[in-house]
Amino acid sequence: MKKFFTEQLLAWNQEQNTRTMPWKGIKDPYKIWLSEIILQQTRVEQGLPYYEQFTTAYPTVQHLAAAPEEEVFRMWQGLGYYARCKNMLAAARQIVDTFQGQYPDTHEQIQTLKGIGPYTAAAIASFAFNSPHAVLDGNVFRVLARYFGIHTPVDSTAGKKEFAALAQSLLPANQSAVYNQSIMDFGAVVCKPQQPACLQCPLSAKCVAFKQQLVAQLPVKTKKLVIKKRYFYYIVLEYKDQVYIRKRTENDIWQNLHEFILIEMPGPINANELEAYTAFKEVMHNIPYTVQGISPAFKQQLTHQTIYSQFILLTAAKAPELAHYMAVPRARLNSYAFPKTITDFLQNKSLGLF
Ligand code: SF4
């Protein structure tokens, strides 16, 4: 069953795999690594333009390591999960400082880089150096769970161990790069999460899920995704063409990105009535102002949270004293990295508010 699996997969890759991606087949570990980091939690179509931008702006790890943090964060804008960006920059600097600018070439050393776990290290080590390490991403979990009929939850410790051992046992000698790429592509284009192409699948003759009609039940996951709703009311306070912003430093979403004066409410409110709330009064205490406008609600969907934001534009009648916020000329706002929802607001000229 295992031999059939590996042989069919490699044959499929050679004869039918038409999935093209700019990083496929390249051996530069730096570019492979960039593609892996960009694609974590991101769809290929969404990640592709970012990969192009990053490799053009920073063709080598030295270029990335020397780049100003703010510039890199701005380029990352829209990809979400900013910890990935922060770790990516830290790892680039680590390669320059600790590995003399040479990308490490063993699975063990690659794992010492910031933000790289065993599976990403396996992908880089196998694609760049053909090291014998099996990749285990969402696509691989799904293909293995269905073909072998495994019901152990893929997000459990036992499941991770079981799938890792199975994946490793399937790896053909000296062909880890092409095999890993094949199984990932196969999961993306044939054994897809919804409506897999079982009738055209070269594995169907021995696929347990197909034969036992379990395709829709596999893979099994234990944790249900709980999505929390959050309500952000942003005060966009202007005084003499300067606007007040701050960098988010808390251990929360959007760390290291900038924002206007935030009032978070436990539930939705009528933004016209925000002035009546204590949180607003505390912030605007002693600052005379006039209201210029209120935006409609903007929505940003994150994996675990839905963020609803509204922007309240105020003009201060005297220079505000606000701890933790800095005054930035309105024309320079675009040199700061903001979460997508704020960028959407700033770019939406049709509102006529900003
Ligand atoms: S037969 Fe269907 S479920 Fe089984 S491996 Fe092929 S596509 Fe996946």
Residue 35: both structure tokens together: 């593609």
Closest among 49, 30, 18 to 92, alpha carbons compared: 30
303 in Cβ contact with 228 (< 8 Å): no
pLDDT per residue, tens digit, the chain (354 aa), is 899 999 999 999 999 887 888 888 889 999 999 999 998 878 888 899 999 999 999 999 999 999 999 899 999 988 888 888 999 999 999 999 999 999 999 999 999 999 999 889 999 999 999 999 999 999 999 999 999 999 999 999 999 999 999 999 999 989 999 999 999 999 999 999 999 999 999 999 999 999 999 999 999 998 777 889 999 999 999 999 999 999 998 888 998 899 999 999 989 999 888 998 988 998 888 899 999 999 999 999 988 899 999 999 999 999 998 888 999 999 999 889 999 999 999 998 776 666
- At residue 119, the pLDDT reads 87
Residue 78: both structure tokens together: 């829209």
Q: Is 133 helix (H, G, I), strand (E, B) or coil?
A: coil
105 in Cβ contact with 14 (< 8 Å): no
Ligand 1, residue 203: give the atom nearest the CA.
Answer: 6
Ligand 1, residue 207: give the atom nearest the CA.
Answer: 4
Strands 305-316, 228-239: parallel, antiparallel or unpaired by DSSP?
Answer: parallel
Residue 176 C-alpha to ligand 1 middle, in angstroms?
22
- At residue 353, the pLDDT reads 60
Return the bridge partners of 243, or none.
Answer: 238, 328
54 in Cβ contact with 34 (< 8 Å): yes
Residues in contact with ligand 1 (CB, 6 Å cut-off): 143, 146-147, 190-191, 196-198, 201, 203-204, 207, 209-210, 215
Alpha-helical (H) ranges within the chain are: 2-15, 29-39, 44-57, 61-66, 69-76, 82-98, 107-111, 118-129, 138-148, 157-170, 176-189, 208-211, 278-284, 340-347
Which residue of 206, 215, 217, 218 sits with most ligand 1 atoms within 8 Å of its CB, as the best mutation to test the pocket? 215
Residue 202 C-alpha to ligand 1 middle, in angstroms?
8
User: Catalytic site residue 275?
Assistant: no
Q: Is 282 helix (H, G, I), strand (E, B) or coil?
A: helix
Which residue of 141, 201, 212 sits with most ligand 1 atoms within 8 Å of its CB, as the best mutation to test the pocket? 201
Strands 261-265, 228-239: parallel, antiparallel or unpaired by DSSP?
Answer: antiparallel
Residue 122 C-alpha to ligand 1 middle, in angstroms?
24
Residue 16 C-alpha to ligand 1 middle, in angstroms?
15
Residue 198 C-alpha to ligand 1 middle, in angstroms?
5
145 in Cβ contact with 154 (< 8 Å): yes
Which residue of 5, 200, 207 sits with most ligand 1 atoms within 8 Å of its CB, as the best mutation to test the pocket? 207
- At residue 32, the pLDDT reads 95
Output the CA–CA distances (angstroms, integers) from residue 339 to 37, 275, 306, in the order listed.
19, 25, 13
Q: Which amino acid is at 122?
A: A
Catalytic residue among 7, 15, 36, 273: 36
Q: Give the closest residue (by CA) to ligand 1 atom 8.
A: 191
Classify the phi-psi angles of 19: left when phi > 0, otherwise alpha if psi is within -120 to 50, otherwise beta: beta
Secondary-structure percent of the chain, ordered helix, strand, coil, rounded to 5: 50, 15, 40
Residue 43 C-alpha to ligand 1 middle, in angstroms?
21
- At residue 352, the pLDDT reads 67
Can you tell me which residue has the tokens 């039918």? 16
Peptide bond before residue 219 is cis, with ω within 30 degrees of 0: yes
CA 70 to chain centre: 18
**Interaxial angle between packed helices 157-170 and 2-15, expressed in degrees from 0 to 180 and rounded to the nearest 10:** 70
Q: Give the closest residue (by CA) to ligand 1 atom 2.
A: 198
Closest among 269, 338, 274 to 300, alpha carbons compared: 338
Residue 196 C-alpha to ligand 1 middle, in angstroms?
6
**Quick count: other Cβ atoms within 10 Å of Cβ 169?**
10
Residue 32 C-alpha to ligand 1 middle, in angstroms?
28
Closest among 241, 320, 230 to 283, alpha carbons compared: 320
Residue ranges of domains in the chain, CATH in brackets: 2-217 (1.10.340.30), 228-351 (3.90.79.10)
Ligand 1, residue 142: give the atom nearest the CA.
Answer: 8
Ligand 1, residue 196: give the atom nearest the CA.
Answer: 7
- At residue 303, the pLDDT reads 80
248 in Cβ contact with 234 (< 8 Å): no
In angstroms, the CA 262 to CA 332 distance is 20
Which residue of 210, 211, 214 sits with most ligand 1 atoms within 8 Å of its CB, as the best mutation to test the pocket? 210
In angstroms, the CA 275 to CA 260 distance is 16
Residue 128: both structure tokens together: 């760049």
Ligand 1, residue 201: give the atom nearest the CA.
Answer: 6
Residues 6+ away with beta carbon under 8 Å from 199 = none
**What radius of gyration do the chain's Cα atoms show?**
24
